[in-house]
Amino acid sequence: AQTVTQSQPEMSVQEAETVTLSCTYDTSESDYYLFWYKQPPSRQMILVIRQEAYKQQNATENRFSVNFQKAAKSFSLKISDSQLGDAAMYFCAYRSVWNTGKLIFGQGTTLQVKP
């Protein structure tokens, strides 16, 4: 069975600075997808960025980028130029290529952005 681990329950960053959230996962599969989701307080979860395991190039979406290390089973999220609106809980998630598409989530990291 696949597992996802986020070892940082809380992180904080100064506005305009850069922060990196860590995620490791365990799987025996070679093809899969990885995601970072953002869940603002009392608001619904939204997708931040996704990575296909077969792609060597790290995904980037504006201020958000990932460092995908397949051999190490590591998938970190870097947020550049942090903004107050980035404050939220961030979840790393795994999706197998072969099953129903269910997501396996980590425990989450609460990000605080200080003005």
Q: Which residues bind another protein (CB under 8 A)?
A: 4, 6, 33, 37, 43-47, 50, 91, 93, 95, 99-108
- Which residues are within 8 A (CB) of 65 and not within 5 positions of it... i.e. 6 or more apart? 49, 58, 59, 77, 78, 80
Cβ closest to another protein, residue 56 vs residue 100: 100
Give the residue from 68, 67, 65, 86 showing the smallest Cα distance to 11: 86
Cβ atoms of residues 48 and 37 within 8 Å: yes
Question: Closer CB to another protein, residue 19 or residue 90?
Answer: 90
- Report in angstroms how near the CB of residue 91 gets to another protein at its nearest: 5
Task: Kindly tell me which of 19 and 95 has the beta carbon lying closer to another protein.
Answer: 95
